[in-house]
Amino acid sequence: MSGKADSSSLARRAGRTADGAATSSSAGSGSDAVAGTRSNENSGAAYRALFDMSRLLNTGLHYEELRICTHLIEAGVNPEALAKVVRHLRSTAETVQAQQQQQQLAMGPDSAAADDDDTA
């Protein structure tokens, strides 16, 4: 298959002509519903593949977190800035968790059992 045919095929799947213009479709046609379903299936498969790559790269992002990040980037958010925010949030969460553990240790095991009795 030639490069031109490949790009045309990809462009059609993305809803664009080979020159980048948006394609028009008739509203409410059955083929649009089928194409929409196929698009959702392809999108789901793409996210699963992206999630698999994310796991292989040890990003630590859960599936939904990865989808949110992807949507933000597609909406125009700078990927490097988003990565900094994610790292900062993780660091802050780790700090808070460590402080909570230190407070629990400082109170001793008896206070943890008392807390359990209060919630029961």
Residues 93-103 as b/e (b if ≥16 CB within 10 A, e otherwise) read: eeeeeeeeeee
Answer yes or no: pTM beyond 0.85.
no
- 3-state class of 90 per DSSP? helix
Q: Which amino acid is at 114?
A: A
- In a shared domain, residues 90 and 55: no
Residue 91 φ/ψ region, left for φ over 0, alpha for ψ in the -120 to 50 degree band, beta for the rest = alpha
Within a domain: residue 85?
A: yes
Residue 98 belongs to a domain: yes
| Residue 120 and residue 92 share a domain | yes
Query: Looking at the domain assignment, is residue 3 inside a domain?
Result: no
Q: Give a yes or no: residue 54 inside a domain.
A: yes
Verify that 89 and 107 share a domain, yes or no: yes
Residue 47: per-residue pLDDT: 86
Residue whose entry in the numeric block shows the structure tokens 């933000």: 72
Sign of CA dihedral 74, 75, 81, 87: negative
Do 115 and 95 belong together in one domain?
yes
Residues 33 and 70 grouped into a single domain: yes
Q: What residues are paired with 16 via a beta bridge?
A: 22
**Crossing angle for the helix pair 79-119 and 63-74, nearest 10 degrees?**
150
Sign of CA pseudo-dihedral 64, 66, 67, 69: positive
Regarding whether 64 and 84 lie in a shared domain, the answer is no
Structurally, the chain folds into a number of domains equal to 2
* Statement to judge: residues 48 and 88 lie in one domain: no
Query: 10 lies in a domain?
Result: no
Domain that holds residue 61: 29-77
**102 occurs within a structural domain:** yes
Q: What is the pLDDT of residues 35-93, one digit of tens each?
A: 455 566 777 888 889 999 999 999 999 999 999 999 999 999 999 999 999 999 999 99
Per-residue pLDDT averaged across 103-116, rounded? 71
Same domain for 57 and 68, yes or no, is: yes
